[in-house]
Structure 1
Amino acid sequence: MKRLFSITLFLSLLLICSSLGFAQQQPENVIFILSDDHRYDYMGFHPDSPDFLETPAMDRMAAEGAHLANAFVSTSLCSPSRASILTGQYPFRHQVVDNSNAMPEGTPLVSQALQQAGYQTGYFGKWHIGNETADPQPGFDKWVSFRGQGVYYNPTLNIDGEEGNYEGYVTDLLTDYTIEWLDEIDRDQPFFAYLSHKAVHAEFEPAERHEGMYADAELEFPQSMKYIEENYEGKPDWVKEQRFSWHGVDYMYHNRDDHPQSLEEIITRYSESLSAVDESIARVINYLEEEGLAEETLVIYMGDNGFMLGEHGLIDKRQAYEESMRVPLLAWAPGFIEPGTVIEENIMNIDMTPTFLDIAGGSMPEGHTVDGESFLPFLAGETINDWRTAFVYQYFWEDAFPQTPTTYAIRGDRYKYIYYHGLWDKNEFYDLETDPNEMHNLINAPEHQERIRQMKNRMFDIFEENGATDVKFRRPSPFRADEKLIHED
């Protein structure tokens, strides 16, 4: 029934637009909403979404705006991905290669470039780029944030440099502060609001109003999770072994009491925590309509990385599998984006900065390399010549989570090659057209050996040309996931 309603709404909007014509007006304001660990297919309208999941605001964004159906991150990890969004750079360039290392001081941010272009700028939510600071960052006129991962309930917030304790659910509070700021700013000057949610990061805590809403949902687990030889015949040994570790379905989070105890609990609480994010989107869109700002504003919703929910026996992210590196991406701008637009090109987190600047008519400082490209023409229904048909991915081994090795990958429109550094194990190669769930590793298939060689060479050529092989060994984290925090004297 949910699917039928979404399809009916979508077709109705298409008929209205085709009968009335479509006049475009490019927006000048931007609201960027970022969630944490939201995977690409957990949206109600998505054909691969679980049947029980309800996300009316996301469904509305897709029906009235654009669904960028092939969106990816360059590293499936919080800090590197967030730094890429703000700089337009791959992690090997901005140097935030893990969750422990901050950006080098003085790294230009898109927020500064937007200020220079005359924009009012506000940041609301999780920062978490390589350190535990909640202090205001360059380029933002308004600042509301918290240290590290933060908490779901009654957070300590840093508001414009002053920390205090606040009561409430953090997803709601961050949305409150965003709308409050929009009420206060000069309406004659363009604005950029960055709403950065903690949700849906583990440990998942839904808002009280959503607690238990999926308790009776019928869950379907991925076929690749089954512990059978067929699923592991071609997989690297580390994947099979990780089932019994911190990020595996058979010993998840080492059975600690402060984490979910079963995959069923992870899926239901993850989905329930997502409901408040969906409501946040609805509140922002409704506010823009009520204030007459809808046709002047582009709203973009994105996840900072994906999340494994049992695929290949794994949970969490970091891997170069689709559920980890692929993210949701929606855009809504009445009068600019034709309703029901679906964009199939590969869009990445490094494309956010150039897209924001394309709207603002701004630019990053001379000497700052931007690896991404603006996808604004796609939103306007135009084509872009020579858009990427393949991209590279890197994840660097972390001492805090040693179960996942350093991972390099190159993904094309059909094929993906994954290379593991620092361990004696299988690499991986998949035909995503015939095997979208990546269950059949073709790394040794005779008919693909020339293609594998070409993709491997192209991947390392890209890395070498960009200095991506020069990433230095970093100081390890002070603790591992299975240890208590060690305080040094």
Structure 2
Amino acid sequence: MTSIGKGMLPVLLLMGLMNVGAGQAQSQSPPQNVIFILSDDHRYDYIGFHPESPDFLKTPGMDRMAEEGAHLANAFVTTSLCSPSRASILTGQYPFRHGVVDNNNVMPEGTPLFSEALQEAGYQTGYFGKWHIGHAHDDPQPGFDRWVSFRGQGVYYDPTLNIDGERRQVEGYITDLLTDYTLEWLEEVDRDQPFFAYLSHKAVHAEFEPAERHEGMYEEAQIPTPQSMKNIESNYEGKPDWVREQRYSWHGVEHMYHGRADHPQGIDEIIPRYSESLMGVDESISRVLDYLREQGLAENTLVIYMGDNGFMLGEHGLIDKRQAYEESMRVPMLAWSPGFIEAGSTIGENVLNIDITPTILDLAGGSMPSGHTVDGQSFLPLLGGKTVDDWRETFVYQYFWEHAFPHTPTTYAIRGDRYKYIYYHGVWDTNELYDLQEDPREMHNLIDVPAQQERVQRMRNEMFEIFEASGATDVKFRRPGGFQADERKLH
């Protein structure tokens, strides 16, 4: 094992090493076309085939994608929040580098996106769905020939869409509509040129509204209650104070969304609605795969599915995301490309949202502009069944405190294959260390265990060396979201 804290290597190599194969190499060359499907707030284990999935959940589309392709079983985001994660996907960079550190910051003008590099490589490109990077705008973005989006979080029914710069209200359910627009565009593209489609769903973001055909399908389901949700002393022994206090806040199970009538109330309501809303996304995946098969495009197209971040569903008394706990930072990821990806394979390497840009550009033969640092690395060889000797076994995570949601502190973390260290900045509270092999639900904080002190110090130093080497510790003061320049009034 190589120490990632030594030598101040470029961040691309500072993420550590892992040597886990992904099955036997396939004979076919990588496909040309790419469809990237992104969902919102879909956690890693809410997929029907997953061994930790609740018994009631059925996701035939995702199950099929795994059966015919690959399950990337250890996929994560480097910040578990919509705007930072989405910007990282498009740039291949950590949030501290691209500057979108929360949901209020827009990407600096001129920031290169991989869509622009795809166009330069001869690709036809289309964007369909939620943008939500920074403020609530929906204007067409660089690098996309076709643009269909909406402002902010949008709505589930009868949305107002920005279609190539013109807004109009469209009747229907948003998940279905975005899939329709994607497939219609695929009918229009020149089949003699490669294409890239970015299908970015609103689902399954709160306030969870399923399609009418899925309404109530899980209302009789037996809802799992996490052991760590129980309000007992043993569950909070060794935990930071902010975790227990957040239980009674906007993002806590005792007072979720402050009891607002337009939000689900209680885990027994939130989980069925969340799961029903996911069904539209699952059907969207099936429609895309069916279309590719029917049009003879399956052998020449790579489809990647992932969530933009995870979602807590009662663990440690919390809901939503932002935290460095597994349910928050870990996401589902599937890849499908018949003939290139071995059917039914599982890829065990740690794959991150910052890896999407280099992977797609690796396939397309494109590159980001000179001077643009890419923090991720291509996992295309892993999809093709190759072993990558210098793959990461360790990575870092950051979440920056938000004025609108002050309950969660600024969080730094470093996660290896077995241990995770979490450091809270700016609060007088307890840090955390977990043995993920023995304690996958992160119930027992080892931060004060004498036998773990050497590891605590080593992981803490390693984490800060990574951040310092890449300029991540140069924290800038930001105006809190909601404050206007001409009035110090919070809206």
TM-score, normalized by length of structure 2?
0.93
1:66 aligns with 2:93: no
Counterparts of 1:44-443 in structure 2, within 5 Å, are: 44-443=48-447
Contact 2:26–2:384 (Cα < 8 Å) also in 1: no
How far 1:208 moved relative to its partner? 0.2
Cα distance between partner residues in 2 of 1:486 and 1:127: 25
Q: 1:289-330, CA deviations, whole angstroms, 9 ceiling, x for partnerless residues?
A: 000000000000000000000000000000000000000000
Contact 1:343 1:378 in 2 (8 A): yes
Unpaired segments of 5 or more residues in structure 1? 1-16, 480-484
Contact 1:25 1:295 in 2 (8 A): no
**Secondary structure of 1:409's partner?**
strand
Distance 1:183 1:264 in 2: 42
What secondary structure sits across from 1:253 in the alignment?
Answer: helix
The residue matched to 1:469 in structure 2 has which SS?
A: coil
What's the counterpart of residue 449 of structure 2?
445
Question: Shift of residue 471 of structure 1?
Answer: 2.7
CA deviations 1:376-411 (Å, max 9, x no partner) are 000010011211110000000000000000000000
Partner of 2:407, secondary structure, is: coil
Distance in 1, Cα, partners of 2:478 & 2:174: 32
- Count residues in correspondence: 464
Higher RCO (CA 8 Å, separation ≥ 6 residues)? 2
TM-superposed CA distance for 1:220, in Å, is 1.2
Paired with 1:474 and 1:117, the residues of 2 have a C-alpha distance of 37
Return the structure number with greater helix share.
Answer: 1
Between the aligned partners of 1:354 and 1:120, the Cα distance in structure 2 is 18
Moved more, 382-391 or 120-129: 382-391
Deviation string, structure 1 residues 159-207 (Cα, Å, up to 9, x no partner): 0000010100000000000000000010000000000000000000000
Matching of residue 37 in structure 1 with residue 41 in structure 2: yes
Q: 1:56 Cα deviation (Å)? A: 0.3
Equivalent residue of 1:272, what SS? helix
What's the secondary structure of 1:335's corresponding residue? Answer: coil
Structure-1-length-normalised TM-score: 0.94
| RMSD across aligned positions (CA) | 1.2
Amino acid at match of 2:67: A
Q: How far, CA to CA, are the matches of 1:293 and 1:281 in structure 2?
A: 15
Q: 2:26–2:341: 8 Å Cα contact kept in structure 1?
A: no
Q: CA deviation at 1:124?
A: 0.1
Runs of 4+ with deviation above 6 angstroms: none
CA distance in 2, matches of 1:245, 1:22: 51
Report how far residue 106 of structure 1 moved: 0.1
Deviation at 1:478, TM superposition (A): 1.2
Percent of pairs with identical residues = 78
Counterpart amino acid of residue 462 in structure 2: R
Deviations 1:8-36 (A, max 9, x none): xxxxxxxxx99xx9642421000000000
Structure 1 residue 470: deviation in Å?
1.0
Which position in structure 1 is the counterpart of 2:28? 24
- Aligned residue for 1:11? none
